[in-house]
Amino acid sequence: MKKSTLSKNVSDTKFTGLSPKMLTYFRQLERNNNKPWFAEHRSEYLQYVAEPMKRLALELAPVIQELDPKAATEPRRTVSRIYRDTRFAGDKTPYRPNVWIAFKRNIADWTKTPVYFFEVTGAEYFFGMGMYLANAATMRNFRRMIDADPQGFAEMIEPVNRSRLVSLVPEQYKRPLPCGHPAGVKTWYQSKTIAVIGTRAPDKTLFSPKIIDFITARFVLLKPLYDYLWKAVTI
């Protein structure tokens, strides 16, 4: 098989949007998740998945640097690898039929910290911000911060509550915590971790340069909450 002729310097290539062929590739990979098929179709992976996502990460980098100068923005740190680590996973298929960009700080256990993300699968795309596995201490700090100034939190989170762009995906405690805060605050207070996500079916926005402004608007909306969560992590 020929080596890919794609440029190694992805910044030299203009980002024109993702391709529907990326989604087709993921659907085919789900049906053929094995090393021989991947080897035969590796050039498609590079052309329709790896390279475009690296270009998109580079386009988003200036936005992230303004939102959080401490976040890593290099594609090698932000774009997911297709190879699945199967050592401790229940799913032993070797490849992931999806790809994501995660802008996180250079912290060993980043799953417990706020992260901006964008993900594409064979059927939809996701965007938002959150903590994959917030620890108990962070969430205690989060609730104490709300208790100290519930009105301030309510005003800060109101644009997110009103928005149809993203919404809290709550993983709530089985036993509700004592909370006298209003409904717009209570759901956040009762959450075991914080993940604010938007989901869309593939559309023209995904397949055009407009996806850059689309993602940027969602990330900017979540900036106050992002900073609030980082305070809960670090106090």
- Structural contact between residues 56 and 18, judged by C-beta atoms closer than 8 angstroms: yes
- pLDDT tens by residue, 36-64: 999 999 999 999 999 999 999 999 999 99
Grouping H, G, I as helix, E, B as strand and the rest as coil, residue 99 is strand
- pLDDT tens by residue, 62-109: 999 999 999 999 999 999 999 988 777 777 899 999 999 999 999 888
Model-level pTM? Answer: 0.91
- Structural contact between residues 134 and 193, judged by C-beta atoms closer than 8 angstroms: yes
Please tell me what DSSP assigns to residue 111: G
Q: Which fold would CATH assign to domain 16-234?
A: BirA Bifunctional Protein; domain 2 (3.30.930)
* 2-30 burial: b if 16+ Cβ within 10 Å, else e: eeeeeeeebeeeebebbeeebbebbeebe
- pLDDT tens by residue, 205-234: 999 999 999 999 999 999 999 999 999 999
Tokens coding 41: 């179709």
Please tell me what DSSP assigns to residue 112: G
- Structural contact between residues 143 and 189, judged by C-beta atoms closer than 8 angstroms: yes
Q: Which helix (H) or strand (E) holds 102?
A: strand 98-103
- Rounded CA separation 22/221 (Å): 28
Please tell me what DSSP assigns to residue 156: H
Kindly state the percentage of the chain with pLDDT values over 90.
Answer: 81
- Rounded CA separation 102/79 (Å): 7
